[in-house]
A and B are shown apart, each in its own frame.
Chain A
Amino acid sequence: MSDMGQAFVLALQLIAALDAELLEIIARSFAVSLAAVAIAAAIGLPAGAALAVYRFPGRRAVIVLVNALMGLPPVFVGLLIYLFLSRAGPLGFLGLLFTPTAMIIAQAVLVTPIIVAICHRLTRDLYEEYRDQLCSFGARPYQAVRTVLWDARVSLVTAVMAGFGRATAEVGAVLIVGGNIAGLTRVMTTTIALETSKGNLALALALGLILVLTAIGVNAVAMSLGGVSAYRRG
């Protein structure tokens, strides 16, 4: 059998056997990315809706900047956060470098602009429709922000899921700030990078398959929610 075929079979065996190392890495990956996305959503959703509702000087510049930040190179974000968290850096006293917390920070920084930008687009269109009615009701801008967030909630789930997809698939930033330490900061993507370079294709491939399955699962959920929202909009 070819190398690839062999690796594939071994990978499936690892998954089927619920290999302890594999499960530990998957669990850490999800824990880190879920925490990062929770932070990014807590910041990004109100910020995106506020950009749709409030009118202030420099608003367009902020929108351009946020859209640009969606394409932030993860390696560069990792480097910046590394500099901040390293012993000599301004936040070095926290001792966070090479911990899962550092990885959560890095992913949150990468994902927040994505959630802000998608949320802004979704709530902008809704607010366009609602504006006169909400003004007529006497809603204050902060109340309008709450209203559009609530009424767009189903489609906003897709924004959060896009962020989760980006977070789980990202390698560069978490590799730099996490250090890929076995049993501590090793996640799916960094393990794939390491095991591939060591020639341990089975574990790498098994994790790759899990990542793909995660992506498919997230998209399937997002799509079925989209169907529900299409119905509810009439």
Chain B
Amino acid sequence: MSILPLSLDKVSFRAGDRALLDGISLTIESGPKTVILGANGAGKSLLLRICHGLLGPSGGEVRWAEGTTRQYERQAMVFQKPVMLRRSVAANVAYGLKLRKIEAGERARRVADALRRTGLTDFADQPARLLSGGEQQRLALARIWALEPEILFLDEPTANLDPGATRAVEEIVSGIHDSGAKIVMTTHDIGQARRFADEVIFLHRGRVAERAGADTFFSRPSTEEAAAYLRGDLLW
């Protein structure tokens, strides 16, 4: 039984007096690639961290599908700056599998598969921290692919990468999506959202300003904020 849909009910997050997220209610279903679009400071990363469970909301509720358990093992997240364990590339992939007590034979098979799919097979025995930025982000994706999550959150995974590495990351994420995972990715890059999104959640100042299919959102945004963002106007 799938842990999806993920439901957020009036989720808010406060830092002191400031509401960084305010009354967010969302249902995230399996299927389309969802892109959370918004300016810096709109609350994208925060929303993703709350969905993933790294942070608890100040108010409201985050719920996975009723009757499911061990949801933390069935979801995964990729960070803007990948955290490489001080181990070999292959050991980085094996780490999460060991935590989930995947037995050695199956583990070796999944590590090899994940490295092959992300083009990292030749680097298997190298220290992960000696990889380039793009290769590190590919390794972060390989680690997650091996875990076969039901939903993958990506927090601006290409913000620090050049166009070639960005394309490689997008292709791998699409591959993970094709293998059955729900994708929820944040970006402030309109071009990336156009290339990648099946649906867009537009976040503005801690609120969901608009949610629509990608075609509709980019051709006929229904809110002034979204239209202004797409035109490249400054919103504050």
Spell out A's residues near B (CB within 8 Å): 126, 129-130, 132-133, 135-139, 143, 147, 151-152, 232-234
Contacts and interface: CB of A to CB of B under 8 A. Distances in A.
Contact of A233 (B86, B96, B131): B86
Contact of A137 (B87, B95, B127): B95
7 contacts: A132-B54, A137-B96, A137-B99, A138-B73, A138-B99, A147-B85, A151-B85
Interface of B: 52-54, 72-73, 76-77, 79, 83, 85-87, 95-96, 99-100, 127, 129-131
A129 B83 contact: yes
Contacts of A147: 85, 95
A151 B87 contact: yes
B86 A232 contact: yes
Given A132-B54, A232-B86, A138 B72 contact: yes
A234 B79 contact: no
Interface SS of chain B: helix, strand, loop or mixed? mixed
A234 B129 contact: yes
Nearest to B84: A234
A77 to B, nearest CB: 35
A133 B79 contact: yes
A86 B7 CA distance: 67
Contacts of A137: 76, 95-96, 99
Contacts of A133: 79, 83, 85
A130 B86 CA distance: 10
Given A135-B54, A138-B99, A234-B130, A151 B86 contact: yes
A130 B85 contact: yes
Nearest to B96: A137
Contact of A232 (B54, B72, B129, B131): B129
Nearest to B49: A132
Nearest to A132: B54
Nearest to A129: B83
B75 to A, nearest CB: 9
A63 B81 CA distance: 30
Contacts of B130: 234
A233 B129 CA distance: 6
Contacts of A136: 52, 54, 76-77, 79
A136 B73 CA distance: 9
B83 A130 contact: yes
Contacts of A132: 54, 79, 83
Nearest to A154: B86
A202 B100 CA distance: 62
Contacts of B83: 129-130, 132-133
Contacts of A152: 86
A151 B99 CA distance: 15
Contacts of A151: 85-87
Contacts of B72: 138
A99 to B, nearest CB: 42
A139 B79 contact: no
A233 B72 CA distance: 29
A49 to B, nearest CB: 14
Nearest to A151: B86
A232 B79 contact: no
Contacts of B96: 137-138
A152 B86 CA distance: 8
Contacts of B79: 132-133, 136
Contacts of A130: 83, 85
Contacts of A143: 99
A75 B131 CA distance: 51
Contacts of B99: 137-139, 143
Nearest to A143: B99
Closest 8 CB pairs of A and B: A234-B129, A133-B83, A234-B130, A151-B86, A138-B72, A136-B77, A137-B96, A232-B127
